[in-house]
Structure 1
Amino acid sequence: MEFRDGPIDGIIWKSLRFFKDHRGWLVELFRHDELDAQWHPVMAYVSMTEPGVARGPHEHVDQADYFCFYGPSNFKVYLWDNRPSSPTYGNREIRLVGADDPYALVVPPGVVHAYKNAGDVQGIVLNAANRLYKGWGKTEPVDEIRHEEHADSIYKLI
């Protein structure tokens, strides 16, 4: 399969706004009143990614991810629409977000995703997924299809 560049149906991009004063800054990452209930988080985690390092590509069958890229580095975000029933099936979307252009985004199930720290400092990413990792009590299989483990993967980070 060859992907074409274009927006992906169901991806929600939300610009993040910093409120700064003499103490530092504050940024709202999530509000229930700004996001459809199906995407509301049930758990959250923060990850640190070294410069030049990528996470993904992978996808989920049922889980949606709510990523927040706000710094201190920039990240190149890669999305591939792998949902045959989607009107944008076969589209690829790539954006540079983070310190210079802070964004949150919802990645629905079936959309393959990856991100790479494109800066020269460690980068922090928050993810607030709408499903529990490994289910309640961590007793279920992980909802993840890992494409990064295959050298011949069609999902290439460029």
Structure 2
Amino acid sequence: MKTILVTGAGGFIGKNLCATLEQHKDIEILRYDLGNTPEELAAFIARADFVFHLAGVNRPQYQEEFEKGNRDFTIRLLEMLENTGRAVPIAMTSSIQAVLDNPYGRSKKAAEDAVFEWSNRTGIPAYVYRLPNVFGKWCRPNYNSVVATFCHNIARGLPIQINNPATKLTLVYIDDVVAELIAAMNGMAHIGNDGFCHVPRTFTVTLQGLADILYSFAESRSNLMMPNFGDDLERYLYATYVSYLPEDGFSYLLEKKQDDRGWLAEFIKSKQFGQIFISRTKPGITRGNHWHHTKVEKFLVIEGEAVIRFRKIGSEKVIEYRVSGDSPEVVDIPAGYTHSITNIGNSDVITIFWADEVFNPERADTYYLEV
């Protein structure tokens, strides 16, 4: 069993790190945060095999708190570790702002220097990360994260402020940060020539580009267009955005096109994977009787009984597939075949349809022809 001390365990990175460490059955987590006492910290340090030092001050009421919460606390932590007489490695998260000549930057730089000096003197491994803008779930909005603030406000229809749209941001995803911290714990940190550790993958986006991506997520509920999940930045931003939805805003209604046959509703669309929609069809009703030059589809009946019929263009031969929601069976709809689906049961048929492209009424590639 390995015992891990996490300072700043209640913060953004701390919560995500602890949630991941909890999945390791051979790890005991000692959580230290603002609510703990100095005595508890000393007791934790006496038991720790590794320390993640994530605690820090970045928006205090008084400037003096920068030095107290960043430099002084780090020095005290290092002294307590040394006093145990054991070699307990430490990984510390700092900030790219440590290079700036302001109270926050100077306090973070002083904390870094203290860790490096301690490591050089004792020979105990220390890993210092100057992190760029970290984003992901559980980050506090309207505090010090532009991604969290934008996600929170856009998800609620609130305005956002962009002073310089061309400002470039370097972002790093929280899961990548956690993975790298755990790698450091296992002695596999990514260490640069300057002695600082780093997360191997980062993303670059302008402030306006970030806003545009997040606004597209909000609009996806009305236009049903999903992000490009082949782009990791968009995928991670989408996961982040959805985590900031208000608790009474997790759901949204789809537009149903209803007639005497039943109804049909589009579900989601994407330029990369096409379109998915769902239908409810009454007994005896047939849908389709059309064909496509290039478009391909998949039909999946999830409730009821139906027959799917095909006829190759120019042929008289009709092919039938009987399908039932009791035994989910996907049927491919090839190009060049007119096709239809008929409810042959006594109850409504519910079908999920997939098409490889989003429907474009100006280039529908859909031609009526009875099977």
TM-score higher than 0.5: yes
Match of 1:50 in 2: 282
Q: Give the Å deviation of 1:130.
A: 0.5
Amino acid corresponding to residue 286 of structure 2 in structure 1: A
Segment drifting more, 111-120 vs 91-100: 91-100
Q: Which residue is equivalent to 1:77?
A: 308
Q: Which residue of 1 aligns with 2:365?
A: 143
Consecutive unaligned residues in structure 2, runs of 5 or more? 1-271
Structure 2 counterpart of 1:68, which letter? L
Q: Is 1:92 aligned with 2:324?
A: no
CA distance in 2 between partners of 1:41 and 1:55 (Å)? 23
Deviation at residue 59 of structure 1 after TM alignment? 0.4
Q: Does 2:352 align with 1:120?
A: no
Report the Cα offset of residue 41 of structure 1: 4.0
- Higher Rg: 2
Deviation beyond 4 Å, 4+ runs, structure 1: none
Where structure 1 has 5 or more consecutive residues not aligned to the other structure, the ranges are 1-39, 149-154
The CA RMSD measured in Å over matched residues stands at: 1.9
In the TM superposition, residue 92 of structure 1 has moved relative to its aligned partner by 2.1
Q: Distance in 1 between matches of 2:307 and 2:358?
A: 26
CA offsets per residue over residues 102-150 of structure 1, 9 Å max, x none? 311111111110010011111111111001111xxx6x232110124xx
Deviation at 1:45, TM superposition (A): 0.3
TM-score with structure 1 length normalisation?
A: 0.57
Higher strand share: 1
2:60 is aligned with 1:60: no
Give the Cα–Cα distance (whole angstroms) in 1 for the partners of residues 327 and 344 of structure 2. Answer: 13
Distance between the aligned counterparts of 2:321 and 2:327, measured in 1? 10
**What amino acid is aligned across from residue 277 of structure 2 in structure 1?**
Y
How many residues in Structure 1 have an aligned counterpart in Structure 2? 100
Q: Please give the TM-score of this superposition, normalised by the length of structure 2.
A: 0.25
Preserved contact between residue 46 and residue 127 of structure 1 (Cα < 8 Å):
yes
* Of 94, 110, 118, the match for 2:336: 110
Q: CA deviation at 1:99?
A: 2.5
Q: 1:41 to 1:66 in 2, by over 3 A?
A: farther
1:17-70 Cα offsets, whole Å, 9 max, x none, are xxxxxxxxxxxxxxxxxxxxxxx8411000111111001211011100111112
The CA distance in 2 between the partners of 1:41 and 1:59, in whole Å, is 20
Higher helix share: 2
Conservation of the 8 A alpha-carbon contact between 1:41 and 1:130: yes
Q: Percent identity between the aligned chains?
A: 22
The aligned counterpart of 1:131 is 357
1:133 match: secondary structure:
coil
Q: 1:74 to 1:41 in 2, by over 3 A?
A: farther
Please say if residues 59 and 109 of structure 1, whose CA atoms lie closer than 8 Å, have aligned partners that are also in contact.
Answer: yes
